[in-house]
Chains A and B, each alone.
Chain A
Amino acid sequence: MSQETATAEGGFWSDSGKTGIGSWIFSTDHKRIGLMYLYCVLSFFMVGVLLGVLIRLELIAPGPTIVTAQTYNALFTVHGVVMIFLFIIPGIPASFGNLVLPIQLGARDVAFPRVNLFSWWLYVIGAVIVLVSLFTGGGAPDTGWTFYVPFSARTTTNVSLAVFGVFILGFSSILTGINFVTTIHRMRAPGMNWTRIPLFTWSLYATAWVQILATPIIAITLLLVVTERILGLGLFDPSRGGDPIMFQHMFWIYSHPAVYIMILPGMGVISDIIPVFSRKPIFGYKMIAFSSLAIAAAGSAVWGHHMYTSGMSDLGVMVFSFLTFLVAIPSAIKVFNWVSTMYKGSISLEAPMLFALSFILLFSIGGLSGLILGAASTDIHVHDTHFVVGHFHYVMFGGTGFAFFAAAHYWLPKYFGRRYEEKPAIIGWVLMFIGFNVLYFTMQVLGMEGMPRRYYDYLPEFARLNLVATVGSWIMVAGILIVLWNLWRGLLKGEPFTGNPWGGATLEWSIPTPPPTENFEEDPVVTHGPYDFKGAGVP
Chain B
Amino acid sequence: MTNESAEHILSYGKLVTVWVTLLVLTAATIMVTRVELGVWKVWAALAIASIKSGLVIAFFMHMKYEPRLFRIILFVALFTLAGFIGGTFFDVLYR
Chain A: residues with CB nearer than 8 A to chain B? 185, 209, 212-214, 217, 245-246, 249, 253, 300-301, 303-304, 307, 311-316, 319-320
Contacts and interface: CB of A to CB of B under 8 A. Distances in A.
Contact of A213 (B69, B77, B92, B95): B77
Contacts of B84: 217, 253, 300
Nearest to A209: B76
Contacts of B77: 212-213
Nearest to A323: B87
A312 B95 contact: yes
Contacts of B87: 249, 253, 301, 303-304, 319-320
* Most chain A beta carbons < 10 A, residue from B81, B84, B91, B92: B91
B83 A304 contact: no
A245 B92 CA distance: 9
A93 B84 CA distance: 24
B3 interface: no
Interface in B64-95: 69, 76-77, 80-81, 83-84, 87-88, 90-95
Interface of B: 69, 76-77, 80-81, 83-84, 87-88, 90-95
A320 B83 contact: no
Contacts of B91: 245, 249, 304, 307, 312-313, 315-316
Contacts of B81: 213
A315 B91 CA distance: 7
A303 B80 CA distance: 13
Closest 8 CB pairs of A and B: A316-B91, A313-B94, A316-B90, A315-B94, A313-B95, A312-B91, A319-B90, A213-B80
A211 to B, nearest CB: 12
B76 to A, nearest CB: 8
Contacts of A320: 87, 90
A340 B80 CA distance: 34
Contacts of B92: 246, 313
A281 to B, nearest CB: 31
B90 A249 contact: no
Contacts of B69: 185
A313 B90 contact: yes
B90 A315 contact: yes
Contacts of A212: 77
A246 B88 contact: yes
A245 B81 CA distance: 19
Contact of A300 (B83, B88, B93): B83
* Most chain A beta carbons < 10 A, residue from B69, B76, B83, B84: B84
Contacts of B94: 313-316
B84 to A, nearest CB: 5
Given A213-B77, A312-B95, A313-B95, A301 B90 contact: no
Contacts of A209: 76
Given A212-B77, A313-B92, A320-B87, 19 more contacts: A213-B77, A213-B80, A246-B88, A246-B92, A253-B84, A253-B87, A253-B88, A300-B83, A312-B91, A312-B95, A313-B91, A313-B93, A314-B94, A315-B90, A315-B91, A316-B90, A316-B91, A316-B95, A319-B87
Contacts of A185: 69
Contacts of A319: 87, 90
A496 B78 CA distance: 50
Contacts of B80: 213-214, 300
A288 B61 CA distance: 36
A249 B83 contact: no
Nearest to A212: B77
Contacts of A300: 80, 83-84
A311 B95 CA distance: 8
Nearest to B77: A213
* Most chain B beta carbons < 10 A, residue from A212, A307, A312, A316: A316
A497 B84 CA distance: 48
Nearest to B90: A316
A305 to B, nearest CB: 11
Contacts of A246: 88, 92
B79 to A, nearest CB: 10
A213 B76 CA distance: 9
B53 to A, nearest CB: 15
Contacts of B95: 245, 311-313, 316
12 contacts: A213-B81, A214-B80, A217-B84, A249-B87, A253-B84, A301-B87, A311-B95, A312-B91, A313-B91, A316-B91, A320-B87, A320-B90
A343 to B, nearest CB: 36
A300 B81 CA distance: 10
Nearest to A303: B87
A387 to B, nearest CB: 24
Contact of B83 (A301, A312, A314, A315): A301
A2 B76 CA distance: 42
Contacts of B83: 300-301
Contacts of A245: 91, 95
